[in-house]
Each structure stands twice: as structure tokens, then as C-alpha cells.
Amino acid sequence: EDQVTQSPEALRLQEGESSSLNCSYTVSGLRGLFWYRQDPGKGPEFLFTLYSAGEEKEKERLKATLTKKESFLHITAPKPEDSATYLCAVQSWGYGNKLVFGAGTILRVKS
Amino acid sequence: DGGITQSPKYLFRKEGQNVTLSCEQNLNHDAMYWYRQDPGQGLRLIYYSQIVNDFQKGDIAEGYSVSREKKESFPLTVTSAQKNPTAFYLCASSREVDEKLFFGSGTQLSVL
């Protein structure tokens, strides 16, 4: 059974204080790993898809990386508007193409 | 603008009552999904549909029903058999079943 564990559950940063969020996964065969951002009371918004170990993608202050067992979402010099819940999800070849989500990391950035 | 519209934003259910959550998309996507989100848990798949007039159960389908009569619409009914319906419900769509999901803004369902 595919599993996704995100850590930490919550993270508080000062504005400009860089850090990383972790997504550890267990899948029979990884088809893709997805990162989403979710603001309170709203639906998740797509950020990145990673397909193979060693792959990296960037968007503004966010950079996602992938290894065979985990993915990191690096946040460089965060701003208060980066505050949100960040969700990780995996899609495996052997699970009918369905996504399995982690519980998310709640990020708060203080000015 | 293209997107997914969920309604209502808030919904209250009385005991023994069935309620229906609406989901409409104008993205011309073939695949549509319903997820349930509870505090501290990951999103869990209720039902999904890859094509009109066809749908499959997800991981937590008991107490729920869906229909897909039109490509644009995928309503979810929470039946009285669902004993713990309080949650945030999210509808999503994708061009094909293995591509990234686009989500609606969600419906918060509570029990009176």
C-alpha cells in the first residue's frame, strides 16, 4: 500500500529564514510526485510534479527535489504570503493512477 | 476564466437527510474526482470518473453516491448511511486520469 508522510506537521519561520519541508513516501513504483499549496478554506493549488530521482523544479522562492525515498520542498527567504499548508502526493503505476496524499505541513511565516 | 465551481460553500445536514454537493468544470477535462479532507489527515478519494456515464469507487465510497451524466458535472450525494459526514469536500478534475489535478474551492459540510 502506498504511503506518504510529511514532516514537520507545522513550521514557523521568520521572514527571510530559509528552510525545507520533507515528504517521505513508499510506493510500489513511482509514476509521479506532486506538491500542492492550500490556503485556509480553499482548494489545493498545483505547484510541481517530479518524476524521477535527481529531478528538481523551481518556482519563485520554492524549489522541489526528489530522491528514491523522499522529496524536499525548499523555501528560500520566505515571505508572509508563503504561509499555507503544503501537500505532497504520490502516484504509483500499480494503484490505478490514483493519488495518495500526505497530511500536509502547515507553514507560518512571520514578518 | 476556466475553472471548477463547487456549491454551496457551506452546507448543513440534518440526521437522516441526503444532501448533494455540486461540482461543475469548464476546463473540458475528462476525469473528475471527489476527495474528503479531515483535519490532520491527507485527502482521501471518495469517487472518480474517467468518462461520462462511468465512475469508480475510491478508498472511502461507503455512504456516498455520484453520477456523471455530463462531462462538465460530477455531483456528490452524501447519504444518511454516512454516519460521520462532517468534513471539507473537494472536487477536482484533470485532462486525463494520470495528470495534475485542478481543485475547486471546496464545500464544508456540517451536521446539525
Q: Which residues of A touch B104 (CB under 8 A)?
A: 43
Per-residue pLDDT of chain A (111 residues; tens, 9 = 90+): 889 999 999 999 999 999 999 999 998 889 999 999 999 999 999 999 999 999 999 999 999 999 999 999 999 999 999 999 999 999 988 656 688 999 999 999 999
Q: Provide φ and ψ at B42, rounded to 5°.
A: -75, 165
Q: What is the pLDDT of residues A12-30, one digit of tens each?
A: 999 999 999 999 999 888 9
Strand partners, A101: A89
* Helix, coil or strand: residue A82: helix
Contact assignment for B42 to A34 by CB distance below 8 Å: no
Nearest-Cα residue of chain B relative to residue A37: B103
pLDDT at A2: 87
Residue A95 forms contact with B (CB below 8 Å): no
Residue A31: its H or E element: strand A30-38
Q: For B42, which of A9, A42, A103 is closest by C-beta distance?
A: A103
Nearest-Cα residue of chain A relative to residue B37: A103
Contacts A–B by Cβ distance under 8 A: 53
Nearest-Cα residue of chain B relative to residue A106: B40
Beta-strand pair A105-110/A10-14: parallel
Nearest-Cα residue of chain A relative to residue B39: A103
Q: What is the pLDDT of residues B28-87, one digit of tens each?
A: 999 999 999 998 888 999 999 999 999 999 999 999 999 999 999 999 999 999 989 999
Inter-residue long-range contacts of B39-42, CB under 8 Å, 24+ positions, other chains counted:
B40/A9, B40/A103, B41/A103, B42/A4, B42/A87, B42/A89, B42/A100, B42/A101, B42/A102, B42/A103, B42/A104
Contact assignment for A43 to B92 by CB distance below 8 Å: yes
Contact assignment for A87 to B97 by CB distance below 8 Å: no
Residue A57 distance to chain B (closest CA, Å): 15
Contact assignment for A103 to B108 by CB distance below 8 Å: no
pLDDT at A95: 56
Strand partners, B87: B109
Contact assignment for B42 to A101 by CB distance below 8 Å: yes
| Cα(A55)–Cα(A41) distance, integer angstroms | 31
Q: Spell out where chain B has E strands.
A: 4-7, 10-13, 19-25, 31-37, 44-51, 54-57, 64-66, 76-78, 87-94, 102-103, 107-111
